[in-house]
Structure 1
Amino acid sequence: MMSYQIILVDDHIILAKAIQSIIEKDEAFHVTHVLKNGRELIDLLPGLDVKPDLILLDINMPIMNGMEVAKVLQQQYPELKFLTLTMNDEEMSIIKMFNLGAKGYLLKDADPEELMFAMTSILNKGFYYSDFVASVLMKNISGKSESSDPKVSTIVLKDRELEFLKHCCSEMTYKEIADVMFLSPKTIDGYREHLFQKLNVKSRVGLVLYSFRKNLFKIG
Structure 2
Amino acid sequence: MNESKASLLIADDHVLFSEGIISMLRDTYHFSGLVTDGKQVMNAILERKPALILLDINVPNIDGLELAKLIKSNFAEVRIIFLTMYNEGKFVDQAQKLKVDGYMLKHSTKEELILAIDKVLSGGKYFDPKLNLEKTNLHQTDYFVKKFLLTPREVEIIRLIKKGASSGQIAEALHLSEETVRSHRKNIHFKLGVSKVSELIEFANANGL
Report the CA distance between 1:24 and its aligned residue. 0.7
Instruction: Give 3-state SS (helix, strand or coil) of 2:127's partner.
Output: coil
Q: How much does 1:80 deviate?
A: 1.3
Q: Does 1:37 align with 2:37?
A: yes
1:68: Cα distance to partner? 1.2
Q: TM-score normalized by structure 1?
A: 0.56
Superposition pairs for residues 134-145 of structure 1, below 5 Å? Answer: 136=133
For 1:58, the equivalent position in structure 2 comes to 56
Q: 1:106 aligns with which of 86, 104, 107?
A: 104
Distance in 2 (CA, whole Å) between partners of 1:124 and 1:88 is 25
Letter of the aligned partner of 2:59 in structure 1? M
TM-superposition CA deviations, 1:9-68 (whole Å, max 9, x none): 110101100011111132xx11111110221111223334xx211100000121111011
SS in structure 2 of the partner of residue 69 of structure 1: helix
Q: Identify the residue that residue 15 of structure 1 maps to in structure 2.
A: 17
2:189 is matched with none
1:69 & 1:32 partners in 2: Cα distance? 18
Counterpart residue number, 2:6 = 4
| Counterpart in the other structure of 1:123 | 121
Measure, in 2, the Cα distance between the counterparts of 1:45 and 1:17. 19
Whole-angstrom CA distance in 1 between matches of 2:90 and 2:47? 33
1:66-114: CA deviation from partner (whole Å, max 9, x where unpaired): 0110110121112211100000112111111121121110000111110
RMSD: 1.8
Gaps of 5+ in 1: 141-220
Give the secondary-structure state (helix, strand or coil) at the position aligned to 2:119.
helix
Q: How many pairs are equivalent?
A: 133
Distance of 1:45 and 1:132 partners within structure 2: 29
Long gaps (5+) in structure 2: 136-209
Structure 1 residue 130 displacement after superposition: 2.5
Percentage identity across paired residues of the two chains: 29
